[in-house]
Amino acid sequence: MNIHPGVLAAFRRLNADELGVARLMASGDLLSPQRYMNVTLVNLRITGTGVSYRPALEEYVFRKPENYLTEEFLARCNGLPVIMHHPAKTMLNSEEYGNRTVGSVMLPYIKGNEVWAIAKIYDDDAIKLLETEQMSTSPAVLLEGGTKLKLEDGTELLIEGKPSLLDHLAICKNGVWDKGGIPTGIEQSNLRGDSIMAEKTEAEKDKERMDAMRADAEVAAEKRMDEKIDMLLKGIDSLRADMASCNSRMDAFEKEESKEKKEDSEEDEEKKDSEEDIPEEIEAKRLAADKRKDSKRKDAEEEMKEKERADSIASFQRQMEEQAKTIARLSELVRQPIPELDRAELTSIQSRADSAMIQLGERAPQPMAGETPIAYRRRMTSLLQRHSDRWKNVRLDSLDETTFKEVAESQIYADAAERAKRPNDIPAGRMREVRRQDPSGHIITEFYGNNASFISAFSRPTRRARIGVMGAAR
């Protein structure tokens, strides 16, 4: 018998302790907050990762995911104090802890590119505030250093170091990881009445779908921003490595030159000691010849060293110029915003391609950094091209834009939809699960192919009758 997931969650809620309720909230089976005996459990965000902006400091900040999205960091979050607003001196002391603490973290977990947690809230005033106002969170983290970069427009980018101390989590109106939007750090859907199911108008459904598409586009844009930051960091690391290599070569040249001067000085001293008894005239001629030879040898060596030093410096300067150009190009990519029209069009293209590809057991990839809508449109169509007998051998980039949009694209999508309904590449005895989403957002699952493998498990072996000729009785 099929049971609605909400009914199963309700049954689990009846027999669950506070940890069981927290796990149901973290998995999304229960809404937040939930009252359990004398404590209220709330789902809240500890920190985000990637790029954000701090208006108070007028700087961008890049928080590395590898420092936070780990089991070790989750372990550090256990028991983290939850307080009302940050103290004046940022970090807690004994007095501030007693005055501000309203609860503590009990079940941290990773959600996407953020760290969330289920927290126990005991303070009645804090609970009443969460019942009436949408709030957010802000973590207090002490960091180990960091790197600041000055961008061409005058703003600064802070690349944070590792977190050395996770001090507390503050409940506030807006946090850095709301990224200038509405407060999103605390899930308060249960108190706002979101659990009450009501019929929605088509306009409301369309608005929700557009909001979801816009949110997906913002996540994709943030991911591309993170990729650009990673490229920028790699360029800086490469530049530092090249500078260190050049300095090492220069140090080696100076050591070799010092060593040769020392050896020449020792050789001259030995000659002087061994030739004190030679007549002055012969000594003078010999010394003059030696000086000429030494002078020629030193001139040749010095000329070679100067050439090597000049070549090394020139090579280093070329590397510096290339690295500077690379960093400037990457910085420009980081600062370059995606036009609102392009973002909406890219989201629409991805949604259409995903609807077609999900029927074939695939998903549409996100737009790449700097990819234009028409280029992304051609790439999505090329992924479906093999399902169209009419277009599978045609180079789509050779078609003009009008022919591509009005003829090739529509026919390829139609052929792909037809192939999904009657696939010819499913092996005998196999079935393919195809999921599709109807206009109301429900997921419908259908199966295509030969169902022999499914029926054979319930069928009997084949039985045959043999017809023979009986011999005559004697």
Do both 424 and 447 map to the same domain? yes
Tell me: pLDDT of 196 over 50.
no
The whole-number pLDDT of residue 433 equals: 67
The whole-number pLDDT of residue 225 equals: 64
Would 189 be classed as within a structural domain? yes
**Long-range pairs for 327-330: beta carbons < 8 A, 24 or more residues apart:** 327/232, 327/235, 327/236, 327/239, 328/152, 330/228, 330/231, 330/232, 330/235
- Report angle CA 111, 112, 117 to the nearest 5 degrees: 20
Do both 46 and 176 map to the same domain? yes
Q: Are 50 and 62 in contact (CB under 8 A)?
A: yes
The whole-number pLDDT of residue 140 equals: 92
Q: What is the pLDDT of residues 215-235, one digit of tens each?
A: 666 666 566 666 666 666 666
Do both 302 and 379 map to the same domain? no
pLDDT confidence band for 210 (50 / 70 / 90): low
User: Which residues partner with 82 through β-bridges?
Assistant: 103, 169
- Residue ending a domain, choose from 171, 196, 221: 196
Tell me: pLDDT of 462 over 80.
no
Do both 290 and 318 map to the same domain? yes
The whole-number pLDDT of residue 82 equals: 96
Residue 413 belongs to domain spanning: 340-457
Q: How many domains does the chain have?
A: 3
Classify the C-alpha dihedral 49-136-9-358 as positive or negative. Answer: negative
Do both 43 and 124 map to the same domain? yes
- Helices 373-384 and 409-421: crossing angle in degrees, nearest 10, is 40
pLDDT, the chain, mean: 77
Q: Are 166 and 92 in contact (CB under 8 A)?
A: no
Q: Give dist(CA 341, CA 345) in Å, integer.
A: 6
Classify the C-alpha dihedral 394-395-397-398 as positive or negative. Answer: negative
Would 53 be classed as within a structural domain? yes
Do both 277 and 353 map to the same domain? no
Q: What is the mean pLDDT of residues 76-84?
A: 95
Do both 323 and 379 map to the same domain? no
Do both 41 and 56 map to the same domain? yes
Would 363 be classed as within a structural domain? yes
SS3 423: coil
Q: Which amino acid is at 195?
A: S
The whole-number pLDDT of residue 461 equals: 63
Q: Are 178 and 55 in contact (CB under 8 A)?
A: no
33: cis peptide before it, omega within 30°? yes
Do both 248 and 318 map to the same domain? yes
Q: What is the mean pLDDT of residues 126-142?
A: 90
Do both 302 and 418 map to the same domain? no
- Residue ending a domain, choose from 288, 309, 335: 335
Q: What is the pLDDT of residues 384-423, one digit of tens each?
A: 998 898 898 888 888 898 889 889 999 999 998 888 777 6
Phi, psi of 28, deg, nearest 5: 90, 5
Do both 436 and 318 map to the same domain? no
Q: Are 39 and 120 in contact (CB under 8 A)?
A: yes
Would 237 be classed as within a structural domain? yes
Would 144 be classed as within a structural domain? yes
Would 183 be classed as within a structural domain? yes
Would 466 be classed as within a structural domain? no
Would 90 be classed as within a structural domain? yes
Q: Are 63 and 48 in contact (CB under 8 A)?
A: yes
Residue 331 vs residue 19, higher pLDDT: 19
- Residue ending a domain, choose from 316, 335, 354: 335
Q: Give dist(CA 446, CA 437) in Å, integer.
A: 11
The whole-number pLDDT of residue 436 equals: 63
The lowest-confidence range among 182-186, 245-249, 370-374 is: 245-249
Do both 41 and 153 map to the same domain? yes
DSSP 441: S
The lowest-confidence range among 123-127, 203-207, 451-455 is: 451-455
CB atoms within 10 A of CB 409: 20
